[in-house]
Chain A
Amino acid sequence: MKNLTAAERVAIARHPQRPNITDYIDGLFTDFFEMKGDRLCREDPAILGGVALYHDRPVTVIGTRKGKTAEESIRCNFGMPGPEGYRKALRLMRQAEKFRRPVFTFVDTSGAYPGLEAEARGQGEAIARNLYEMSRLTVPVITVITGEGNSGGALALAVADRVLMLENAVYAILSPEGFASILWKDAARHEEACGLMKLTAPDLLALGVTDDLIPEPEGGAHLAPARTIREVDRALSRHLAALLKESGPNLAAKRYLKFRKMGVSQSKEAAPPREEP
């Protein structure tokens, strides 16, 4: 496993038989009750959410949904949510706050949907609002990046106390294809982009963007879904137990500081001298 290239991990992360949100809900929770709709205009099947029991404790579960069959994929827009999906997620998170239950989010999306309707209904505003509100929730929030986590569309569910990542999952500013197309005007150079983007679980753990790495079976999660889900369960239990010891305001304060520290900049004195025109 250690010798996989970033591009190989991207391929595993996108494998059609990789466990998806439905598998995680079936394998980790009992008594799941799905809640639909953003209460504003529609239901977005690209995000699945509801309330369930996790080891007998009520929790809120939210995840992006990619289908496994063609029909399913079309129905949930290939896991690319619109603003309604993010607003539903926010509605569920506010409910979690009200009923004092932890929030688990599962992220596997190639990004927020770049469509005309999505723009007309404020895709940018919906994502921004989630970042803003998630930063101040006073219940534990744990995110698991299970497949690909691309762009603001992934981050909108990932302002969490703990961001965990499956070993072969990837998390990035956008897809390697999009990255290559923006930077070099050539989407075909996506493999080269993979190597530069620092999008693998070990890279992101080293950068401090994620908090833990969940091991996968040799060859990838799709080869042994049950074992993968057991590993996720073990990680979730451990992190949740630690977070449940904290007070609500403490959780919010620590979450704030965690994201506050992200990113490196420098002051001019430390920088190499600038040439004057």
Chain B
Amino acid sequence: MNSIFAKRRNRLLAMKALRDNYIPGDRLTVCPKCGQEHQRGAVAKDLFVCPGCGYHFPLGAYHRLSMILDSGSFRELNEKLLAADPLSFPGYREKQRTAQRKTGLNEAAVTATGTIGGRRCVVGVMDSRFFMGSMSAAVGEKITLAIEYAAKNKLPLILFCASGGARMQEGILSLMQMAKTSAALARFSEKGLLYISVLTDPTTGGVTASFASLGDIILAEPGALIGFAGPRVIQQTIGETLPEGFQRAEYQEEHGFVDAVVPRSQLRETLSRLLRLHEKGGRS
């Protein structure tokens, strides 16, 4: 019985992940970093990392989940939560529908439970294709519900962050999601449970200034842009060009804000190891 459901869930995730394979190009794809042309199939085989320069292409949320979770273990949480239009912002509804149609996603975050190396956990993944991964109230709610689910079931939590920041069309209510998610993490942490935050390209603005920076352990993908203010704004403020590598994952590691920069090929294994190291965690 269980295995039939597991197979079905696996097929469902595989289908959604396939739709998420969105690196540009048909047979050939050009790496945006090194400019080299590669066979799309070769890039896909390398977990969407450029075989030439190691550039990590952005991943769709379901695609990411299919790479991280044990096959058949995926079970989505609060799939049907959508953004509302609390400020009646002109054109927002229409933009939501366009984003949904283009990405097949309901919102900029997907949350799920599953296992990694046989260990159960709650995983949230942000998707930068949907409104730049910006924080709507629905995103904040999904993340908070995932945190609360993990707290209730005493499970470790892993959040893959990717965000341009606030959802402008939701104004101040977007800002309040920072307080909401951070407060939920404080409660989660009091239970002695593990939270790993994985920063992927780009993690900026309100997400950086809330749950992205609050992990017990913070990992980052190579080259990911991580910061509060965006490079363009900083450049305007200080009126000079920014140093090479500024705000990249390696820079954040050097400045003490990231525990480890982990290439995508080692991410699953690293997460599995960290879950194993914290297995006895959790106050009862």
Measured CA separation A115–B227 after assembly (Å): 11
A114-B237, A173-B168 known; A155 vs B178 contact (CB < 8 Å): yes
- Contacts between chains A and B (CB distance < 8 A), count: 196
* Interface 1/0 per residue, A99-138 and B, CB below 8 Å: 0000000000000111110111111110111011101100
From residue 251 to 266 of chain A, which have CB atoms closer than 8 A to chain B? 255-256, 259-260, 262-266
Stretch at the interface among B61-69, B84-92, B114-122: B84-92
Q: In the complex, are the beta carbons of B183 and A267 less than 8 A apart?
A: no
Measured CA separation A131–B227 after assembly (Å): 17
Q: In the complex, are the beta carbons of A275 and B101 less than 8 A apart?
A: yes
From residue 55 to 112 of chain B, which have CB atoms closer than 8 A to chain A? 79-84, 86-87, 89-90, 93, 97, 100-102, 104, 106
Q: In the complex, are the beta carbons of B97 and A275 less than 8 A apart?
A: yes
Q: How far is the CB of B165 from chain A (nearest CB, A)?
A: 8
CB-CB < 8 A to B229: which residues of A?
112, 114-115, 118-119, 123
Stretch at the interface among B44-52, B134-142, B149-157, B269-277: B134-142
Q: Is residue A196 within 8 Å, beta carbon to beta carbon, of the partner chain?
A: yes
Q: In the complex, are the beta carbons of B168 and A152 less than 8 A apart?
A: no
A116-B234, A265-B82 known; A152 vs B178 contact (CB < 8 Å): yes
Q: How far is the CB of A197 from chain B (nearest CB, A)?
A: 5
A128-B211, A172-B171, A174-B166 known; A262 vs B228 contact (CB < 8 Å): no
Size category of the B interface is: 35 or more
Closest residue to B107 on the A side, CB-wise?
Answer: A265
Q: How far is the CB of A23 from chain B (nearest CB, A)?
A: 26
Q: How far is the CB of B118 from chain A (nearest CB, A)?
A: 31
Closest residue to B164 on the A side, CB-wise?
Answer: A182
CB-CB < 8 A to A71: which residues of B?
none
Q: In the complex, are the beta carbons of A264 and B84 less than 8 A apart?
A: yes
Measured CA separation A230–B206 after assembly (Å): 35
Q: How far is the CB of B256 from chain A (nearest CB, A)?
A: 8
Closest residue to B229 on the A side, CB-wise?
Answer: A114
* Interface 1/0 per residue, B4-27 and A, CB below 8 Å: 000000000000000000000000
CB-CB < 8 A to B140: which residues of A?
263
Q: Is residue B260 within 8 Å, beta carbon to beta carbon, of the partner chain?
A: no
Q: Is residue B1 within 8 Å, beta carbon to beta carbon, of the partner chain?
A: no
CB-CB < 8 A to A131: which residues of B?
178-179, 182-183, 209-210
Closest residue to B86 on the A side, CB-wise?
Answer: A264
Q: Is residue A171 within 8 Å, beta carbon to beta carbon, of the partner chain?
A: yes
Q: In the complex, are the beta carbons of B209 and A132 less than 8 A apart?
A: no
Q: How far is the CB of B74 from chain A (nearest CB, A)?
A: 19
Q: In the complex, are the beta carbons of A128 and B184 less than 8 A apart?
A: no
Q: In the complex, are the beta carbons of A264 and B137 less than 8 A apart?
A: yes
Q: How far is the CB of B136 from chain A (nearest CB, A)?
A: 7
Q: How far is the CB of B141 from chain A (nearest CB, A)?
A: 5
* Interface 1/0 per residue, A238-277 and B, CB below 8 Å: 0000000000000000011001101111111101101111
Q: In the complex, are the beta carbons of B89 and A265 less than 8 A apart?
A: no
CB-CB < 8 A to B255: which residues of A?
120-122
Measured CA separation A173–B102 after assembly (Å): 27
Measured CA separation A172–B137 after assembly (Å): 15
Measured CA separation A63–B210 after assembly (Å): 21
Q: How far is the CB of B166 from chain A (nearest CB, A)?
A: 5
10 A–B contacts from the bound complex (CB under 8 Å): A115-B238, A118-B228, A127-B178, A127-B209, A152-B178, A155-B176, A182-B168, A198-B172, A260-B180, A275-B97
Q: B interface vs A, CB < 8 Å?
A: 79-84, 86-87, 89-90, 93, 97, 100-102, 104, 106, 136-138, 140-141, 144, 166, 168-180, 182-187, 190, 205-206, 208-214, 227-229, 233-234, 237-238, 242, 246-247, 255-257
